[in-house]
Structure 1
Amino acid sequence: MIPTKDAYDELDRAYAHFNAELFDGQLPTCLITLQREKKTYGYFSAARFINQVDKSFTDEIALNPAYFGVVSLKEVMQTVVHEMVHLWQHHFGKPGRRRYHNREWGEKMKAVGLMPSDTGKPGGKQTGERMADYAIEGGVFEKALDKLLATSYRITWLDHYPWRHVDPAALQAALDGDVEGVDPANILSPETTAAPAPTKQTRAKYSCACEINVWAKPGLHLICGDCSQRFAEVEPS
């Protein structure tokens, strides 16, 4: 096994599959990265990378690997397609300002089988700054996903310490065994993770009677040149 190749080949394969099934193969290639953005499943960044040889650009779809072993594979693939819609809109539509998910984006999401919702559930707002989605039952996304899963598709490598970067509710559901296809044994919870070793103090604060402060290594004996009094080492709060 080659972990880097395994991980990125699997994501490239999913991108190519959904490009063919949901976008008629019209999307250009992009660079998929793994980024641990706290409580964020993924994001799209247009023309983020430049080729230093021919000066060409490629877009980025970033995915948060902390969620790979916490939510269902279906939800991870929803994130992939969600960001692919952003990529589609960048090349073929008119994106909203900054991170705003506008009506055009929402209509394309529905066209590929995902219902936009700011809550991730039925009845949520379909446009806004922060948007989730859910699969339309029997829609084209679900059908495309079924085709992918029929090839024994999986994500092999999972983050063993996801709790630092995922939503606490999602983590708890996974630990409780309430998420389809997620094995709680793959997740190390905060309670079973050793606390980080305390950092050694390398600088200390000193103050004298005339309220001059200096910072130096701990344990020194310093005299103020103005008041001729000894600096007192201040205990950190």
Structure 2
Amino acid sequence: MSIRKVPTHQTYAELQQAYDHFNNALFDGGLPNCLITLQREKRSMGYFSSQRFVDAQGTYTDEIAMNPAYFAVVPLIETMQTLVHEMCHLWQFHFGKPGRGRYHNEEWASKMEAIGLMPSSTGQPGGARTGQLMADYAIEDGKFVKACADLLTQSFCLTWYDRFSHADAPRSAAERLDISVGGGAPPYIALPALTQALASSATSTSNGAQGDESLPVKPTGNSNRWKYVCPCGTSVWGKPKLKIICGSCESPFTSPDAARLSTNSESA
């Protein structure tokens, strides 16, 4: 008798497993539980909202929202990086003094660095350490990288991915560490079935299938450019049908746009 898959149970159990793992590894198990949700906030991989939910007994809990639009198109380490970034906001709300509004202050920046994530306004070395809109990158040999490697050795994965959300994700310097940590390629490249499903999603939508039109396959205004990605996770945009090789891993870039065209021509 086959076990029935329950996507809701699988998805939220996996996110809770990651939360518990990083809570123990990076915060000494001191963070309270929160409600993890999936939200498609444009141009945001996640956010933290304090005391966002309340139960029938009047007990409050915080929210950490993760954007599923990016799960398929960034390496797993970057999705985990987003989760830990928001966990650091949760830590500051309960044990520190958050900045006003969305401001990421020095206390938050110091905690981020202590757990192995370097705050950066650009997501790259040299960016501002504090500010309104902040990204980060993983510190080589830092606590986060080691904790992420431990999680991935437990056969951890995200089971479900959004077919219609092939978004252009903000990139970070974490991609340099993907191979050493594991799960170096974005899932839509590393998993053949997912590659095919994403490649065919544009065709399904054009044939009348219901998709999320607010999350286009290509960025608006760049219809004459393709996205190219190498196995180490590096991505670039360029003219159609380019043949390029990654300077970091010396592997050829592949393009999901080319895969979509190939699928369309084969089905024509």
Range of TM-score over shorter length: 0.7 to 0.9
Q: Deviations over 1:57-113 (max 9, x none)?
A: 000000000100010100000000000000000000000111111111000000110
Structure 1, unmatched stretches of 5+, are: 171-178, 198-237
Select which of 134, 137, 141 maps to 1:131. 134
Residue 3 in structure 1 maps to residue 22 in structure 2 = no
- Equivalent residue number for residue 37 of structure 2: 33
Task: Report the TM-score, using the length of structure 1 for normalisation.
Answer: 0.74
Residue 90 in structure 1 maps to residue 99 in structure 2 = no
Kindly tell me: are residues 168 and 120 of structure 1, through their superposed partners in 2, closer, same or farther at Cα, counting changes over 3 Å?
closer
Q: Distance in 2 between matches of 1:17 and 1:194?
A: 38
Task: Report the TM-score, using the length of structure 2 for normalisation.
Answer: 0.66
Select which of 2, 22, 29 maps to 2:26. 22
Structure 2, unmatched stretches of 5+, are: 172-183, 190-194, 209-268
Question: What is the CA-CA distance between 1:180 and the residue it aligns to?
Answer: 1.5
Please identify the structure whose Cα radius of gyration is greater.
Answer: 1
Q: Deviations over 1:15-47 (max 9, x none)?
A: 000000000000000000000001100000000
Kindly tell me: are residues 81 and 98 of structure 1, through their superposed partners in 2, closer, same or farther at Cα, counting changes over 3 Å?
same
Alignment of 1:1-237 (within 5 A): 1-52=5-56, 54-163=57-166, 166-167=167-168, 180-184=185-189, 185=195, 186-188=197-199, 192=203, 194-195=205-206
Secondary structure of residue in 2 paired with 1:162? coil
Q: Deviations over 1:166-206 (max 9, x none)?
A: 33676xxxxxxxx7143241434885463497xxxxxxxxx
Is the CA contact (8 Å cut-off) linking 2:70 and 2:169 kept in structure 1? no
Q: Distance in 2 between matches of 1:37 and 1:123?
A: 27
Q: Distance in 2 between matches of 1:169 and 1:134?
A: 12
Tell me the C-alpha RMSD between the 2 structures.
1.9
Secondary structure of residue in 2 paired with 1:183? helix
* Amino acid aligned to 1:187: L
Kindly tell me: are residues 168 and 196 of structure 1, through their superposed partners in 2, closer, same or farther at Cα, counting changes over 3 Å?
farther
Q: Distance in 2 between matches of 1:190 and 1:8?
A: 24
Is the CA contact (8 Å cut-off) linking 1:161 and 1:189 kept in structure 2? no
Higher helix share: 2
* Amino acid aligned to 1:33: T
Q: Distance in 1 between matches of 2:207 and 2:99?
A: 42
Identity %: 56
* Amino acid aligned to 2:7: P
Q: Distance in 2 between matches of 1:130 and 1:195?
A: 36
Q: Distance in 1 between matches of 2:54 and 2:207?
A: 38
Aligned length: 186
